[in-house]
Amino acid sequence: MWEQLQTVEHEAYEKSPAGVFSVDDCEEAHEVGVFLRDNIEGRCLDVGCGLLPEPAYMKDQPNIQFYGIDPFKDEVDREFDFICGTGEDLPFDNETFECVLFASTIDHMIDPQLAINEAYRVLKSKGALVIWYIERNKPHLIYGRYNKHHQWGFTNEVMIDFIRKAQFKNTILSVVLKSGNNERIVMVRK
């Protein structure tokens, strides 16, 4: 199932990169970029960074050094350090990053809980987990196909529960994006 959905996503990138959430004319990506600029400094791992050389939310970030991980193996001249892999098995030492970002990718993971657990592991003390996702009216918490492009669907309450299960204890900031489309950012510090 995961490989089938990843193939659909890869084909979408190849046919029309403009259809992905992180292109320059995506209002939501710019909102996420502003949020990051206002809240994050240091090394930030973008889990599921995709195939763009530089996603819109990475631009104009003088205090953030981005790193990316993605299962797509394509040769892309990225503007940041990249490694091929998945969010459920991050090939980094404990406490490596000041931030771990899931930018519209958590609903594509094989195991979102494991991916969030891994984010916790690689975050430094007081590091931030930032998740940008589409909030659904009803959760879909059984592994399978939520829709044509997603395996999972999360309500805000379900997302917060996933974060709490990963040992995050601090207050969770949850913000609905102004551009609409039921998109939300949640952030919590380790």
Cβ atoms within 10 Å, residue 171: 9
Q: Quote the CA–CA distance of 82 and 104 in Å, as a whole number.
A: 18
Domains in the chain: boundaries: 2-189
Segments in the chain forming alpha helices (H): 2-15, 27-39, 112-122, 156-165
Pairwise CA distance, residues 46 & 27, whole Å: 19
Q: Enter the pTM of the model.
A: 0.88
Give strand ranges (E) for 38-161.
Answer: 42-47, 64-70, 81-84, 97-103, 123-134
Residue showing tokens 């195939």: 51
Give the range among 20-24, 78-82, 93-97, 147-151 with minimum mean pLDDT.
147-151
Residue 19, pLDDT > 60, answer no
| 8 Å CB contact between 130 and 100 | yes
Say how many Å lie between the first and final Cα of the chain, rounded.
Answer: 32
Nearest CA to 54 among 85, 88, 20, 14? 20
Which of the following CATH numbers is that of domain 2-189: 3.40.50.300, 3.30.300.30, 3.40.50.150, 3.40.1000.10?
3.40.50.150
Dump pLDDT digits (tens) for 84-95.
999 999 999 999
Nearest-CA neighbor of 181 among 27, 67, 61?
27
Tens digit of each residue's pLDDT (9 = 90 or more) over 145-177: 656 566 778 889 999 999 999 999 999 999 999
In this predicted structure, the answer to whether residue 115 has a pLDDT above a threshold of 70 is yes
Instruction: For residue 35, report the phi and psi dihedrals to the nearest 5 degrees.
Output: -60, -45
Mean of per-residue pLDDT scores for the chain: 87
With a pLDDT cut of 70, the percent of the chain lying above it is 82
User: What integer pLDDT is reported at residue 172 of this predicted model?
Assistant: 94
